[in-house]
Structure 1
Amino acid sequence: MEETSEFLDEDGQLQNLEDEVVQEVLKTGTDLRQYSRQIEKELKQVENKSIQDYIKESENIASLHNQISSCDNILERMESMLLSFQSDLGSISSEILSLQRKSVSMSQQLSNRQGIRVQLSQFIDDMAVSEALIMGILESPVTEKEFHTQLTSLNHKINFVKEQSFKDARCCLDVKDILEKLKIKAVTKIRAHLLEQIYKFRKPMTNYQVPQNALLKFKFFFEFLLSNERSCAQEVCNEYVDTMSKIYYSYFKSYSSRLSKLQFEEAATKDDLMGIEETGPRGLFYKASLKHKSTVFTIGNRGDVLTTHLESPIIVPHAAQKNDGRYPYEALFRSEKYALLDNACREYLFLTEFFMVCGASALDLFNQIMGKTLNLLSKNLETFVQDCYDTIALFLCLHLILRYQMMCHKRAVPALDHYWDSLQSLIWPRFEYVFRLNIQSIKDCDPTKFSKEMGPHYVSIV
């Protein structure tokens, strides 16, 4: 029990019974004390041997110690360097953040300055008066491209300065005087040029389309006058209206008069109604009716004025007189109205483009030019209609009016609508009146008083 007590713990339990060596000792029945002393002896020997090994390796251990100490110093210095580097990195990071903030601020400032620069540059360009502008307005002839270019620039600058003046821009005072002088010079040159072009219309035998086309090339001139000097623009407009009004009136008065001389000498009268027949001698002042009375009631080729001859060239009076040409009234009417339509449409389109008018303003300006001429032609038609008994002529004239009115609409010219309506209002009542006379003459006729001709009567032919 004493031998085994050493293997008991404080609680009386065996220790290390599971150890293989202890189990082997217990099985062989070896004396544990002797075995313990043997073990201690062996441990002492191992310890002494280990000490001898340490003594032999002392120099290496010392060297290792020195090396470890050296490494420790190196690591200490590296630690110090890394701490310093970490501190430097923190400082650099703060500097980078500061530089980044400065970069953003400078970028914003640059963007603002560039935006201001563009605006200021444009503002200066719009405001400044260059030497090229001055020389172009003062020295260049109005027909040259340089004058037109500089005039466009001048017009822009004048409008820009006006706009800035309302904003109380002080720099406007620096250029206002010189722009005013350049404007006066430009207006003077433009006015003289436009009036000179208008006066060319007054030359005898002038094809007025040529000066009109020349004016259209410089339509910006009138726009400049209208924007900057309305009195001069009105003067030019009035001069043009007065000139063209006289030209159109003179031309159509002469043309209408010469056309009237080309009409057939024989014309239907009140005695050439369908139901009236000549039965014998009349009074002293009796005037014989048509020799070929059937022509009043037969359309024949007279209807060609509505088809093949509708847009044919107008009749040239002096050429027709040389050939002894004669025409029914509707042919003369077609020629006169086609000439009017062609001239009126061209004039209306010119007015809207050159004088920049539209709607009621364009119609008013057109009537100022063509009104006197239209009244003349209306009176001429009224004079013819009052004594006309030719229903076919009246009927064809009505259709000519309708066709020419549609032609005006296709050309986008409404200026003659009132004129065409007035012509219809002149012809329709007369046409209805003469038509009713013919109907009444047939109702009142006495067949027994007709001539005893064997051939068919013109009434039955119709």
Structure 2
Amino acid sequence: MIVSESDSSEDVDSSIKAQLEDEVIREALTSGMDLRQYSQSVEKELRQLENLSIQDYIGKAQNIATLHHQITECDSILENMQGMLEGFLTHLSTISQEIQSLQEQSASINVQLTNRKQVHIEMSTFIDQLMVPEIMIQHILNTPVTDSLFMQQLKALNQKSKFIKEQNFRDAHSCQDVQDIVDKLTVKAVTKIREYLLQKIYQFRKPLSNYQIPQNAMIKHKFFFEFLLLHARTVAAEIHDEYVETMSRVYSSYFQSYTKQLWKLQYEEGVTRDDLMGVEDSRANSFFTKSLKSRGTVFTLGTRDSVLSPTGLIQDIIVPHTAGKGETKYAFEVLFRSQQYALMDNGCREYIFLTEFFMVHDADAMKLFMTVMGKTLQHVQKEVCGVVMGCYDSIALYLCVHLIHQYRLLCHKRAVPALDNHWEQLLHMIWPRFEYVVKMNIQSIQACDPSKMATLDMRPHYITRRYAEFSGAVMVLHEKFPLEGVDGLMLQLQDEVEKVILKMAAVFHNRKDQLIFLINNYDMMLSVLSRKLFLL
């Protein structure tokens, strides 16, 4: 490689600069000493230091030899330890393989143990379910069916019977040893249950018996019928048919007798077709004098709506025998409430009993309920229809319509839909009759001829008072429970009353007398309606 002179001179300069930066050279230059002399002095010092170092090394030779020997021994020891550790590592590898093998054996043994425990549990359960203990035999044979121990062992017997049937389906021959014992115990249990249930059913047939007591006893032991369904369907059908036939006769007989005696307690001075809003006082004088002492006027509500109060709806039913002794008489709606409350209360209780004891629901429950209560409902509806068709008491009919709606709501609160059709049938009887009677009153007002009235003065007319009382009564009841169709009837009645009032006012020739007559009549109507509104 060819280097130029300029590059060479630059390298020399940089080398000189580097040497000048050395502290020793800088000190020599600054001291003014001769460099040759300074160089000799430095060499002399170096030789002295070298001699001292050699002497020191010779003095430490023994220690260095000892250190070398110790290092050699340590190296030998470490080599031996390395061999031991390598052997230990090899041994650990062997132990790890043994541990892994032991773990595999342990897992296998654990699986075997789990399987054996499971088999033990299943075998124990199987044997327990197959085994018929002596205490079960004793209680099924000797303990009364009403005892809780009998019920406990009966449920256990039911479980064993189900289990044996399942095992027989799987062709398990081990069940044959206990099959005969279980069958005999089942037959014995069925016999005792049949006797007990028939005895309770026959108690319903006793005159004046409180059939709620045997019903409650049967509900308490409702598992008996479930047991019969599973093991003796023929006996279950016998119990079912016997109960249905017995209760159907009991209810039918009771309500026929009760209804017959109940209607005898109605007011003798009943409202007739002549007791209408447009009939003159003179033609209905006997009615409005004699009847006011016992039941108020035809068109006045008074306290008759007490049957719709929360306590009035569920008040105890009327006992005809007791009421007959005191010669107490009642309005139509009071007797109707007593009859329908008795029917509703018994019907709800019967429906709940049938669903719980015979384990039926929905359509099956409705069908069974109608089998038990069908004749009774038909008889009650027929009796009500006969009385309603001869009733001209519009307020009583309207109260009965409200009673039907209230009792239907009460049935729904008790989760009993079985009487819905009964309430509909009653509404189809009573509501058209109510419309018919109201329209008769409207027609009676239309037929009024003020010119033929015997007495007509400026005081409020009896038609106005009757309308005000009747309108107020309907308004009070309508506010509590609005019914469709009432507003239309009342508007027709109001229109006819306004027309007849204007006709009666026209009889007076003096305009002042006409206005006084109108003011007195409208004031009376407003006063009556205001009092009714105040009571709401």
What range describes the TM-score normalised by the shorter chain of this pair? 0.7 to 0.9
Q: CA deviation at 1:277?
A: 3.5
Does residue 1:309 correspond to 2:312, yes or no?
Answer: yes
Q: 1:340 aligns with which of 327, 340, 343?
A: 343
- What CA deviation, in whole Å up to 9, does each residue of 1:126-152 have, x standing for no partner? 222222222221222212222111110
Provide the C-alpha distance between the structure 1 equivalents of 2:195 and 2:382, rounded to a whole number of angstroms.
38
- Secondary structure of the corresponding residue to residue 114 of structure 2: helix
Q: CA deviation at 1:288?
A: 9.2
- TM normalised by structure 2 equals 0.66
- Secondary structure of the corresponding residue to residue 370 of structure 1: helix
Q: 1:461 aligns with which of 465, 469, 472?
A: 465
Whether the 8 Å contact between 1:279 and 1:451 is mirrored in structure 2 is no
Alignment of 1:28-427 (within 5 A): 98-277=101-280, 290-292=287-289, 295-307=297-309, 309-427=312-430
Equivalent residue letter for 1:290: F
Q: Calculate percent identity across the aligned residue pairs.
A: 54
Q: CA deviation at 1:90?
A: 8.0
Provide the C-alpha distance between the structure 1 equivalents of 2:195 and 2:132, rounded to a whole number of angstroms.
25
- Secondary structure of the corresponding residue to residue 290 of structure 1: helix
Match of residue 446 from structure 1: 449
CA distance 1:106–1:431, shift in 2 (3 Å)? same
Q: 2:437 aligns with which of 431, 434, 449?
A: 434
Q: CA deviation at 1:86?
A: 9.5
Provide the C-alpha distance between the structure 1 equivalents of 2:307 and 2:330, rounded to a whole number of angstroms.
11
- What CA deviation, in whole Å up to 9, does each residue of 1:39-91 have, x standing for no partner? xxxxxxxxxxxxxxxxxxxxxxxxxxxxx9xxx9xx99x99999999999888
CA distance 1:134–1:449, shift in 2 (3 Å)? same
Equivalent residue letter for 1:326: K
Provide the C-alpha distance between the structure 2 equivalents of 1:79 and 1:302, rounded to a whole number of angstroms.
117
Provide the C-alpha distance between the structure 2 equivalents of 1:87 and 1:274, rounded to a whole number of angstroms.
124
The structure with the largest alpha-carbon Rg is 1
Q: CA deviation at 1:118?
A: 1.2
- What CA deviation, in whole Å up to 9, does each residue of 1:201-230 have, x standing for no partner? 222221111111111221111111112212
- TM normalised by structure 1 equals 0.76
- What CA deviation, in whole Å up to 9, does each residue of 1:87-136 have, x standing for no partner? 99888776655544333322211111011111221122222222222222
CA distance 1:445–1:129, shift in 2 (3 Å)? same
Unaligned runs of at least 5 residues, structure 2: 1-42, 48-72, 467-536
Match of residue 29 from structure 1: none
Match of residue 17 from structure 1: none
Provide the C-alpha distance between the structure 1 equivalents of 2:337 and 2:86, rounded to a whole number of angstroms.
112
Equivalent residue letter for 2:403: L
- What CA deviation, in whole Å up to 9, does each residue of 1:241-283 have, x standing for no partner? 1121122122211211111111100112222222233778xxx
Q: CA deviation at 1:160?
A: 1.5
Whether the 8 Å contact between 1:385 and 1:430 is mirrored in structure 2 is yes
Whether the 8 Å contact between 2:288 and 2:297 is mirrored in structure 1 is no
Provide the C-alpha distance between the structure 2 equivalents of 1:331 and 1:83, rounded to a whole number of angstroms.
112
Provide the C-alpha distance between the structure 2 equivalents of 1:432 and 1:399, rounded to a whole number of angstroms.
14
Q: CA deviation at 1:163?
A: 2.0
Provide the C-alpha distance between the structure 2 equivalents of 1:108 and 1:192, rounded to a whole number of angstroms.
54
CA distance 1:84–1:278, shift in 2 (3 Å)? closer
Larger CA deviation: 416-425 vs 143-152: 143-152
- Secondary structure of the corresponding residue to residue 202 of structure 1: coil
Aligned residues: 388
- Secondary structure of the corresponding residue to residue 295 of structure 1: coil
Match of residue 62 from structure 1: none
Match of residue 34 from structure 2: none
Equivalent residue letter for 2:331: P
Equivalent residue letter for 1:461: R
CA distance 1:302–1:91, shift in 2 (3 Å)? closer
Moved over 6 A (4+): 78-94
- Secondary structure of the corresponding residue to residue 173 of structure 2: coil
CA distance 1:271–1:124, shift in 2 (3 Å)? same
Larger CA deviation: 246-255 vs 191-200: 246-255
More helix by share: 2
Provide the C-alpha distance between the structure 2 equivalents of 1:410 and 1:433, rounded to a whole number of angstroms.
32
Equivalent residue letter for 1:426: M
Q: CA deviation at 1:441?
A: 1.5
Equivalent residue letter for 2:189: A
CA distance 1:433–1:89, shift in 2 (3 Å)? closer
- Secondary structure of the corresponding residue to residue 298 of structure 1: coil
Provide the C-alpha distance between the structure 2 equivalents of 1:419 and 1:279, rounded to a whole number of angstroms.
42
Whether the 8 Å contact between 2:266 and 2:331 is mirrored in structure 1 is yes
CA distance 1:444–1:121, shift in 2 (3 Å)? same
Q: CA deviation at 1:438?
A: 1.3
Unaligned runs of at least 5 residues, structure 1: 1-19, 25-67, 281-286
- What CA deviation, in whole Å up to 9, does each residue of 1:345-395 have, x standing for no partner? 111111111111111111111111111111111011110122221111111
- Secondary structure of the corresponding residue to residue 204 of structure 2: helix
Equivalent residue letter for 1:363: M
CA distance 1:461–1:117, shift in 2 (3 Å)? same
Equivalent residue letter for 1:336: Q
Equivalent residue letter for 1:385: V
CA distance 1:348–1:85, shift in 2 (3 Å)? same
CA distance 1:392–1:86, shift in 2 (3 Å)? closer
Provide the C-alpha distance between the structure 2 equivalents of 1:279 and 1:88, rounded to a whole number of angstroms.
133
